Structure 1
Amino acid sequence: MTRASLDKQPHEVAAMFDDVAAKYDLTNDVLSLGQARLWRKAVARAVDARPGQKVLDLAAGTGTSSMPFAAAGAYVVPCDFSVGMLREGRKRQPWMPFAAGDATRLPFADGVFDTVTISFGLRNVRETDAALREMLRVTRPGGRVVICEFSTPAWAPFRTVYSEYLMRALPPVARAVSSNPDAYVYLAESIRDWPDQPALAARLQAAGWRDVAWRNLTGGIVALHRGTKPAG
């Protein structure tokens, strides 16, 4: 079984997700106590996909996160760098145009997409700032980015409880439901290591995004960041 290290070597992260692809969506639902579905709905509302729009869904895994955009009539490209995830996605949604791609070197032309979104994947990219710049590059002027990622709970007492859950409760639960429980130990560590809401907003701005804002979901366990590509 594969477990990536916190220096996030791309081949380690990709191999880790290859290992967990078959049960990934089920495991996420269990470990998030059912909140994962609510978070996906919040992302769908923030993206607000419309017929005729082009949406790039990065770290799309098996394509579960892409379904609401397609249902809204948008042309959605699910993109991931895990071959195992893509293979599983193509089994489930063979009609979707799955694409293999590294978030820091996207295989798309400049200004192609109306919206670029990534849910629970930016944290696993080794070069976060390079990924944010690439998302900007492939977005049309006036287009938007929507990032859903684990973050820092706003209420200090809850923050302590949450940290204890991540490191103590999550691994044994993962052992019960995941094909690679060690992968979820890495995921817990990567969540604790991830910047808080203002820090990620600052990185979005530094990458060139404007009108950057965020809102907390589930008390800040997850944050939804948004930004717009300058029109000029």
Structure 2
Amino acid sequence: MNSPDRCLVYESGPVRDATGDTIRPGGFYLTGRALGYCAFGPGAKILDVGCGTGATVEYLIDNGLDASGIDRSGVLLEAGRLRNPGLPLIQARGESLPFADSEMDGIFAECSLSLMSDTHRALSEMHRVLKSGGRLVLTDVYARNPGLQEKLRSLPLTSCLTGALSREELERKLVFNGFDIMLWEDHSNLLKDLTARLIWSHGSLDSFWRKMFAGDCDTGFVQETIAGSRPGYYLLIAGKP
């Protein structure tokens, strides 16, 4: 559970000023790349776990897929329903998916697995809900300096950065939960692009972080800790045998 004094970065206006409704680095770039790789057939059933405002659900539907989304944030879901009342969005958690076994042809979790309190449970649920031969698409932040993960977790915010796994830990959890890893690509350049967008939107990174926190916060320590973890960004596609 999130402590009341922790900043929920994914719900914040300052982040969405830079990212738009996708609320992640790169927008739909990696979503489109994953669709090309997976080659889902028309009408394939796709679930977006951590759908936020439903931007990806809308994108998938526009690409001929039968898509729906779940998110734990009522704030983001309400924003999505206001934008497009017809989107099939459900309030639920990735650790407890409200779908039957083997119901989905594909699952997307874009910048959301790192936000889940129990990634093992979430991956187990995604494996359960996927059909045999189904595809899991993950895009997320990963820690290239795992030695600072504990320090990241201690920051007074909840974000993809603070929940980042190392590549080795992520792959180990996927294999443990029955997935075959099919593709790994590093797209850390997208984080650099997002940093530039944040600076463009707010004048500086320090100004951005000061807007994020309502009370006193050592924004220099926050920035130093994040930089020290050497965050990267990846696209990973896994299959359920």
Structure 1 residue aligned with 2:232: 221
The equivalent of 1:150 in structure 2 is 141
Q: In the alignment, which residue of structure 2 is the partner of 1:122?
A: 113
> What is the TM-score with the length of structure 2 in the denominator?
0.67
What is the 5 A alignment of 1:29-44?
A: 35-44=26-35
Write out per-residue CA displacement over residues 115-161 of structure 1, whole angstroms, 9 at most, x where no aligned residue: 011000111101000000000001111111111111245xx9xxxxx
Correspondence for 1:107: 98
| Mapped contact 1:77–1:96 kept (Cα < 8 A) | yes
Provide the C-alpha distance between the structure 2 equivalents of 1:75 and 1:146, rounded to a whole number of angstroms: 16
Where do 1:46-195 residues align within 5 Å? 46-152=37-143, 185-187=157-159, 190=162, 194-195=164-165
Structure 2 residues not aligned, in runs of 5+: 190-230
Q: Cα deviations across residues 23-69 of structure 1 (Å, max 9, x unaligned)?
A: 6543336xx99734434433443454431100000101001122331
Amino acid at match of 1:187: S
Give the 3 Å change call, closer, same or farther, for CA 17–75 of structure 1 in structure 2: farther
Aligned partner letter, 1:16: L
Distance 1:225 1:110 in 2: 23
CA contact under 8 A between 2:127 and 2:179: conserved in structure 1? Answer: yes
Instruction: Identify the match of residue 166 of structure 2 among 196, 199, 214.
Output: 196
In 1, the alpha carbon distance for the partners of 2:90 and 2:24 equals 30
Give 3-state SS (helix, strand or coil) of 2:136's partner: strand
State the 1:18 CA deviation. 8.2
> What residue number does 1:3 align with?
none
Q: What secondary structure, in the 3-state scheme, does the structure 2 residue paired with 1:140 have?
A: strand
Question: Is the aligned partner of 1:210 residue 2:180?
Answer: yes
Are 2:12 and 1:16 aligned? no
Give the structure 2 partner of residue 175 of structure 1: none
Query: Is the CA contact 2:50–2:72 (under 8 Å) kept in the aligned structure 1?
Result: yes
Pairs aligned (count): 192
Give the 3 Å change call, closer, same or farther, for CA 188–206 of structure 1 in structure 2: closer
Match for 2:176: what amino acid?
A
- Structure 1 residues 92 and 208, CA, compared in 2 at 3 Å: closer, same or farther? same
Give secondary structure in 2 for the equivalent of 1:35: coil
Q: Distance in 1 between matches of 2:184 and 2:10?
A: 31
Q: 2:210 maps to what in 1?
A: none
1:189 shift after superposition: 5.0
Structure 1 132/12 Cα, relative in aligned 2: closer, same or farther at 3 Å?
farther
* Cα distance per residue 1:66-118 (max 9 Å; x no partner): 23311111110111011111111111121211111111111111110000110
1:178 aligns to what? none
Indicate the structure with greater helix content: 1
CA contact (8 A) 1:14 1:81 kept: no
Displacement, 1:215?
Answer: 1.3
- TM-score, normalised to structure 1, is 0.70
Question: 2:159 aligns to what SS in structure 1?
Answer: helix
> How big is the shift at 1:221?
2.3
Contact 2:57 2:87 in 1 (8 A): no
